[in-house]
Structure 1
Amino acid sequence: MRKDFFKKAAALLICFMMLLFAVGCAPQPSNPDDGNTPPPSGGGDVTPPDDKPPVEEELLLTFGVFADTQVPALGAKVGPSLLNAAENLETGLTYFKERGIETLILNGDIIDYVNYGSGSSVAVGAAYKHMNSIMDKVWGENRIYKPLNFMYTLGNHEYYYDYSASEALRQWNLAGYEMNQTFTVNDFSFISIDMKDNGGSVSGDTKMLVEERLAAAKAVDPNRPIFLFYHIPPADTVLNTDWTTPADAWIKGLLSQYPQAVLFTAHTHFSVRHPRQIDQTIATVVNGGAGTYVCVPDTDASGRAYDNADDNVPMNGDIADDTAALGGAKGFNDSCGALVVNVYTAHVEIERVDCHTGEKIAEDWSFPYVKSASDFVYGSAYKDKLAVPQISAESCTARWNPDQPRRVQLAFAPAADTGENVVDAYRLEIYCENAKIADKNYLSDYWNNTDGNLNYDMILPKEYKGKALTIKVQAIDAFGRLSNQIEISVPAAA
């Protein structure tokens, strides 16, 4: 009897365990909120839950680019443009030091060979001595704490003034520097292209060396950017690059073969805030800000010259208004403009900063690793993404100057910059009795660091003196595009 009981109990236990196993193996209905919903029949990507954080790119490298301080020899007689040169170099180097940047490129024209009476070699050596003393002040004696990765390229001012290129290079070497540097940081290649004279020529040996280094860098990883440094921008790339060097065709040929190359230049002294300081028509060319003084261009984007001679406005490559305090409006006054480049796993971001204030001058430039021209962000179509500034007819005044009868005094509210775009100039057409009598091109407040209404004082031919006029005004943006047009009436003189 007891034996039968145990047999039945064992059988029931086995059945119960089999039932539990069957239930555990059966397909279970998925919970739509548990993040494990299986894909629909036929396959397809699973949509991640909304609360899953996006994948962030890793920051692989940060480096700084600075140029055009033009530090003269201590005690040299210099014009107003270089009075703050030494201070600006110290400010720039200190900025990078305080940010902990351990890769720094000084991209030419760091010194200025001002001949002050004792012969060129003395002036040259004294300029380097002054520059090195500033570096010692920031980085310790003999630059013992300079950045781990440091490059100084030759600019045209390293070759000035009245002596041979060989003497310039001798002084360069005596000061402790060498041509055609290269190094790698986290497998990213940095390659200098040093000119052999103040005209921007590049020697055959340098060309061969650069070509070999580019090929080697590409062999390591063809998809990674390669960073190049040459002082003078290639013609027809960034803003007003109308100085064609003997090396221009060779450099453009290189860039066309290496779309992943990023060429950093300097030389022009235009503000780094300007949207045309980056260009990706053949490759990526980035023009750094001026370390000491900022110039204004001599033509607008269409190539037309400015007509500001009547107004004592700096033009034709002269220095922009330098009356405000250091780091003044828009970073023009001793702007100490510099670049800080952040390289991530799939894209590059470039900060444009004023070293005096530590603030960004404009929004960062950002572009993906370039494999082909289709990856360009700042190519020929870039301008189409930027709105054309508009001009308003409000607050306009115009009259004949009672003290100078041939002068018309005109004032109007400036057109507002729109995001990354800027107003470079204004086109003024003057009509008398429906006939155009003058057509003028004036630099905008962007270049002249003015606030409030714009004031233009125009001299007109004497046969129109005192007559009623109509002035049609349009703003011209950074790419040469015209805004809407407003009309301003000038009453006849009493």
Structure 2
Amino acid sequence: MSNVFQKNFIKLLVATILVFSLGMTAYPWNTQAEDHSGDSNTTLEEPNLVFPVISDTQIGRDEGGPERFDNAMNQLNELAPNQDALVFIGDLTSHGYEEEYDTWSSVFNKHVQPQAEQLIGIGNHEYDYNGLTPEGSQQRFFDKTGMESLYYHKTIKDYDFIMMGEESGYFYSKEQVQWLGDQLKQSEQRDPNKPIFIFLHHGIKDTTYGTEDWYIENDNQRLLRETLKQYPQVVLMAGHTHYPISDPRSVYQKDYTAVNSGSISYMWTEKGYLQGEVPETEVSNGLLVKVYDNEVVIKRRNFTGERWVQDPWVIETPVKSNEGFKYTDNRDQESPYFDKNANPSVSRLTVNSLNISFPQAFDNLLTHSYQVTAINQKTGKVTNQYKAFSEYYKGEVPSSLTFPVNNLQPATAYQMNVQAIDAFGNVSNELMTTAITLAESVPEMQGVIQKFEDGGAFVNHGVAQSLKAQLKTVNKFIEENDSEKAIKHMTKVKSLLEHRKENNQMSDNAYNYLMRNANEFIKKW
């Protein structure tokens, strides 16, 4: 039996087993996807090429930078002990200072595998803050990294690697883009069936997640776009955005494949969410690429959580046109959903705020965020509405979330709605619950008791009347500025609540609310 026949037979056998297995068991993704430690490729063959792609250590930004870099390099060496190359695409340092380069080099040289070809690119942070001219910054980069040029082309195990380099912050010259076009032409002529790997610090506008805000900002971007769109076999990897690669929009295919490499140092993300553009959590990401005869497998690593992120991205090769691309804008039409038994709960009620808690929703790719809405039940008007990340980017993604809801009115009933939103804007059904903010005055608390009675929270009218009567006495002493007697009689209200609860004369919800409100009044007085 020939080697070719054996290889094809094994591919067919394994593919058949996988298809059967997937057909028998299909599970939805929740916010924290499964840990996929194995490859998704359907062959048993060894990869032709293995290389990590990382960026944005920004050594010098904070004290933890070297430790994060060390941790990432450690994990990559454990996961891929025989690397053919190691690619670093910019922002090694925070300011381009010599001491920052030296720290970066000490970590890099400690871990880089001797057989791995080194491809190191320059980023805007190597230029912007060191007081040097662009030429001076470039020379320092060359001296500290051993690179001989800002942009260069290498062939590694018969695959083409093209590194582009900023000639000043955010700037790629027309000459460099034209050079890129020449290199692409040569690569395609050499082997039209292989992918061509391109690396640059800044991504191309409106490709991967984050490039709508962070991208190359000069006139040559149009020329660069026109150059790249002629080569659908290009796999372009860029850093700079710091956007989390656990978002599926971090890979994008239109004219070619664009990939976000994440960031070792810290995470940045979108505006308009409760946690802010830079959430207060440590997130360190990077890529591990494996190249096979007929596919490129890109695995995403969350170094903070020491886990793989969701399924690897798989690019089938050879790529002759963009017709077979699957990582497109319209790749996902499925809405996230909550488990049928999911229920939100309310806690930490105050006179003008509350906390709402709920379990994470499920999605076929990723639940990205939630919309939380507070509606005044009396007026029907929206009092507060915001979006919050699902915290999918964390090292350990929580199975449930708790968010604050502020700017509410005292002693007011609210309907609380929660909807899940996936990375592509698909929206789930609503989770709903109701809550009443604490009363700010004793008469307001009496009014809440009336609401509970109207809602059937008491077994009879006498329960409500007895509570109101006790509160009337409390209010009398408040009006007389006699806080000692007010507290004494509010304590009697608490005893009455205990008695009614023990005799099953009021609901748990009414008891918990009124007891909390009574305690808050005593604390205040």
TM-score by length of 2: 0.68
Kept in 2: contact 1:387–1:421 (CA 8 A):
no
- In structure 2, what is the Cα distance between the partners aligned to 1:395 and 1:225? 48
Please, which runs of 5 or more residues in structure 1 have no aligned partner?
1-47, 73-77, 114-122, 140-144, 299-304, 323-331
- Residue 197 of structure 2 aligns with which residue? 227
Aligned residue type for 1:379: T
Tell me the secondary structure at the aligned position of residue 111 of structure 1: coil
Q: After alignment, is 181-190 or 393-402 more displaced?
A: 393-402
- Residue 119 of structure 2 aligns with which residue? 151
- Residue 340 of structure 1 aligns with which residue? 288
Tell me the secondary structure at the aligned position of residue 374 of structure 1: coil
1:221 Cα deviation from its structure 2 partner: 2.0
Larger C-alpha radius of gyration, 1 or 2? 1
- In structure 1, what is the Cα distance between the partners aligned to 2:236 and 2:71? 25
Tell me the secondary structure at the aligned position of residue 210 of structure 1: helix
Aligned residue type for 1:347: E
1:52 Cα deviation from its structure 2 partner: 8.2
- Residue 151 of structure 2 aligns with which residue? 180
| Shift in alpha-carbon separation, 1:271–1:136, aligned structure 2, 3 A | same
Aligned residue type for 1:159: Y
Q: How does 1:33-432 map to 2 (within 5 A)?
A: 53=13, 56=43, 58=45, 59-72=47-60, 78=61, 82-98=62-78, 99-113=81-95, 124-139=97-112, 146-163=114-131, 164-175=133-144, 176-177=146-147, 178-198=149-169, 200-241=170-211, 242-245=213-216, 246=218, 247-298=220-271, 305-306=272-273, 308=274, 313=275, 315-316=276-277, 318-322=278-282, 332=283, 335=284, 337-355=285-303, 359-369=307-317, 370-384=319-333, 388-390=336-338, 394-398=342-346, 401-402=349-350, 405-407=351-353, 409-432=354-377
| Shift in alpha-carbon separation, 1:389–1:285, aligned structure 2, 3 A | farther
After superposition, the C-alpha distances for 1:296-344 in whole angstroms (9 at most, x for unaligned) are 422xxxxxx22x2xxxx4x12x14423xxxxxxxxx3xx3x22111111
| Shift in alpha-carbon separation, 1:457–1:492, aligned structure 2, 3 A | closer
- In structure 2, what is the Cα distance between the partners aligned to 1:148 and 1:406? 59
Does 2:394 correspond to 1:459?
no
- Residue 413 of structure 2 aligns with which residue? 468
Does 2:478 correspond to 1:478?
no
Please, which runs of 5 or more residues in structure 2 have no aligned partner?
1-7, 16-42, 439-444, 446-525
After superposition, the C-alpha distances for 1:145-194 in whole angstroms (9 at most, x for unaligned) are 64442100111211131523222112112223231121112321100111
The number of equivalent residue pairs is 393
Tell me the secondary structure at the aligned position of residue 257 of structure 1: coil
Tell me the secondary structure at the aligned position of residue 446 of structure 1: coil
- In structure 1, what is the Cα distance between the partners aligned to 2:364 and 2:390? 17
1:438 equivalent among 358, 362, 384: 384
Tell me the secondary structure at the aligned position of residue 225 of structure 2: helix
Q: After alignment, is 387-396 or 258-267 more displaced?
A: 387-396
Kept in 2: contact 1:411–1:453 (CA 8 A):
no
Q: After alignment, is 257-266 or 349-358 more displaced?
A: 349-358
Aligned-residue Cα RMSD (Å) equals 2.9
The structure with the greater share of residues assigned to helix is 2
- In structure 2, what is the Cα distance between the partners aligned to 1:158 and 1:345? 37
| Shift in alpha-carbon separation, 1:173–1:439, aligned structure 2, 3 A | same
Kept in 2: contact 1:229–1:263 (CA 8 A):
yes
- Residue 434 of structure 2 aligns with which residue? 489
Kept in 2: contact 1:278–1:287 (CA 8 A):
yes
Tell me the secondary structure at the aligned position of residue 222 of structure 2: helix
Tell me the secondary structure at the aligned position of residue 367 of structure 1: strand
- In structure 1, what is the Cα distance between the partners aligned to 2:129 and 2:10? 65
1:439 Cα deviation from its structure 2 partner: 2.6
1:376 Cα deviation from its structure 2 partner: 0.6
- Residue 453 of structure 2 aligns with which residue? none
Aligned residue type for 2:308: K
TM-score by length of 1: 0.72
Aligned residue type for 1:100: N
